[in-house]
Amino acid sequence: MAPILSVEHLRISFSHRAGTIEAVDGVSLAVAPAECVGIVGESGAGKTQVFMAVMGLLAGTAQASGSVRFEGHELLAADAQALNRVRGSKLTMIFQDPMTSLTPHLQIGTQLAEVMVAHLGMRWKDAWGCAARMLERVHVPDPKRRLRQYPHELSGGMRQRVMIAMSLLCNPSFVIADEPTTALDVTIQAQIIELLRAVRGEFGVGLVLISHDLAVVAGLADRILVMYAGSVVENALAEELFRHPRHPYTAELLKCIPSISGARLARLPTLVGQPPRAGEVLEACRFAPRCPRAADRCRIERPQLAGSSSSQVACHFPLNT
Amino acid sequence: MSSPLLRVRDLRVEFGAHTVVRGVSFELFAGETVGLVGESGSGKSTLARAILRLLKAVGGSVELLGLDLLKCPAATLREQRRGLQMVFQDPLASLNPRMTVGEAIAEPLKIFEPGLNANSRLGQVSAMLERVGLSAGMAGRYPHEFSGGQCQRIGIARAMILSPKLLICDEIVSSLDVSIQGQILNLLLDLQRETGMALLFISHNLAVVRHLSHRVLVMYLGKLVEMAPCEALFASPIHPYTRALLAAVPHIARDAEGAVARPLRAAPTLPAALAEPTQPAALAAPILPAAPAEASMTPRLMAAGCAFRDRCPYALPVCETSEPPLLEVAPGHWAACHRSHETLIPLSCAS
């Protein structure tokens, strides 16, 4: 099936007084219609920047090259007018912090209805009604009253439901959720994950779930991409990734996650060292300094992502092969 | 057992009309790590701050080796505070940006050991920097030159420089990446082994608490609802809230070979938080069908009965009227639930 979203050789750099920082270094990925792909990596890995580029939301100091195609249309080179035809309607994004992504001085109803007024040319009265129905679909109780409320009157979990409702208003084909549960308590996180799962089934949308937490992604994603220092290092079906991680970084990361079952450990497993600082340009595997399997080759030659579309790894000496 | 290092009795904290900590009692022994878990708003941080008298408690007592910190005169409190240190959640915000890291770590020494000359102070700071995994040469740098993990090491160094008897860690790894998190926690465990200090470890991350703690306290709306040895709490939680909390943790199981197995697909969920009083049971939450009552507000829940009753799938009429006391259900295992003597169906298996 033709991918709904494809990113090819995406590079993003930020110019700075001190020089240029490469944040994303040649990322290629594709998402099929109705597929759920998890993007996992630590802070600074570039996972958010890739999708900010997809949405045309990169900071002014950023330069991007490569290609982003959504439903066959090139987005990276598109002007704001062309972008606005798809983003916010067909292609939407849910952000981490539901407080700062809603406008504090507008009622929830206004913020929801204006999406449909702007994109679908609806009348305010009709849009308001659609907004209420959408809130009901994401299980916000008493939607009519909620529409008249302001963001500060809602809890974090409820605000995130409003954000999810907003992302679904124009019947999107693709939703990007960037750390949608990171600011929430575990019990509320479980509810939001459940809601996203239901939304996937009900609306048939493609979903990208960006998270630093493998366990959160695990419950939802069909396929997982692991990013490290600006590149994708592994791409595998979720089940395979957990069972048989191939990139040493994935394997080490999995070991680091403390579990609520199994043996209690006297010491927690750790990854030695720190991720490379952005801006360090290396003709080597960027993970090599922290890698237990690194050999001479890893320090002189950068491994490329290779393999089939659902099983790729960028490593000279992958595990489980 | 020997006498406790810290004995907290019936501690109460109020913010205006709101009672945030509603009579908490527990003990903490030297060398012990106690985990404190609960959702945001349950009063964990407030409890910690009240123990250190950074906030004023309206009732109860906090005894450090028999001395009541809440009633002792300011001068005594000041002297006692050298034994009580805290590390905060946001590593960068808890360091003064205009002080070098060396100055920040030296400041407690300046205050509590004014007789110390500059050279020996510098020596202690250098040794402490090395001890937390940084180099002595970094003392002249400013906080913004360090990563989050390194700033947290500096925060720990500053807290440890006076060799405290009790270290309170409030969500100290929440903002760190998982690969760095382990480094910081291991450092903390090593320091505890070397110094014999007690740790009160506040975290919303139950998995981290499980690996670190000897005992765990579970807090809900300002009260302890369960208190148990770590193993017992995770193996056989009693309070429905504890069970729901455990069931909601996103989970990656490990099998015998240590391989990582497919995680649970459908995580059971808890009905709405009390902050969201009118929310119906979440979409796929057949296990906790109880829909919280309309317009249920925190004060009503606190006024009488069990504060968890609106979210509790096991609530009985008695839970409306009478507040369950914290009782010892098994040796060392305390729970505040009217049905704690029954064998309830585990939440994760129901439905």
Residue B13 confidence (pLDDT) above 80: yes
pLDDT tens for each residue of A217-251: 988 999 999 999 999 999 999 989 998 999 999 99
**DSSP-assigned letters across all residues of A115-149:** HHHHHH---HHHHHHHHHHHHHHTT-SSHHHHHTS
pLDDT at res. A275: 79
Q: Are strands B67-68 and B327-330 parallel, antiparallel or unpaired?
A: unpaired
pLDDT at res. B259: 54
State the DSSP code for B260.
B
pLDDT tens for each residue of B303-338: 789 999 888 888 899 999 999 999 999 999 999 999
Nearest chain A CA: its distance from B270 CA (Å): 6
Residues B265, A270: C-beta atoms closer than 8 Å: no
User: How many cross-chain Cβ pairs, A to B, lie less than 8 Å apart?
Assistant: 170
Nearest chain B CA: its distance from A42 CA (Å): 6
Q: Which residues pair with A208 in a beta bridge?
A: A37, A176
Q: Are strands A206-211 and A231-237 parallel, antiparallel or unpaired?
A: unpaired
pLDDT tens for each residue of B139-171: 999 999 998 889 999 999 999 999 999 999 999
Cβ-proximal residues to B233 (8 Å cutoff; 6+ apart), any chain? B216, B218, B226, B242, B333
Residue positions counted in chain B: 351
| Set of chain B residues whose Cβ sits within 8 Å of the Cβ of A265 | 211
| CB-nearest partner of A186 from B204, B261, B272 | B204
Residue B293 confidence (pLDDT) above 90: no
Q: Write the ipTM.
A: 0.82
> What three-state secondary structure class fits B192?
helix
pLDDT at res. B261: 52
- 3.30.420.40, 3.40.50.300, 3.40.50.11810, 3.40.47.10: CATH of B6-220: 3.40.50.300
pLDDT class of B8 with cuts at 50, 70, 90: very high
Q: Which token pair is A260?
A: 């609520």
Q: Are strands A223-228 and A36-40 parallel, antiparallel or unpaired?
A: parallel
pLDDT at res. B19: 87
Residues 131-160 of B with CB under 8 A from A: 147-149
| Set of chain B residues whose Cβ sits within 8 Å of the Cβ of A190 | 247-248, 250, 267-270, 282
pLDDT class of B342 with cuts at 50, 70, 90: confident
Rounded to whole angstroms, the Cα distance separating A224 from A209 reads 9
pLDDT class of A149 with cuts at 50, 70, 90: very high
pLDDT at res. B218: 97
Rounded to whole angstroms, the Cα distance separating A238 from A233 reads 15
Query: Is A202 within 8 Å of chain B by CB?
Result: no
Residue A278 confidence (pLDDT) above 70: no
Residue B269 confidence (pLDDT) above 70: no
Where do the structural domains in chain B lie, given as residue ranges?
A: 6-220
Residue positions counted in chain A: 321
pLDDT at res. A131: 97
pLDDT class of A24 with cuts at 50, 70, 90: very high
Residues 189-218 of B with CB under 8 A from A: 189, 204-208, 210-211
Burial A9-43 (b: 16+ CB within 10 A, else e): ebbbbbeeeeeebbbbbbbbbbbbebbbbbbbbbe
Nearest chain A CA: its distance from B80 CA (Å): 31
pLDDT at res. B2: 79
Tell me the average pLDDT across B210-235.
95
pLDDT class of A145 with cuts at 50, 70, 90: very high
pLDDT at res. A19: 80
| CB-nearest partner of A215 from B39, B250, B266 | B250
* pTM (predicted TM-score): 0.86
pLDDT tens for each residue of A38-85: 999 988 899 999 999 999 999 989 999 999 999 999 999 899 999 999
pLDDT class of B281 with cuts at 50, 70, 90: very low
pLDDT at res. B248: 85
Tell me the average pLDDT across A137-154.
92
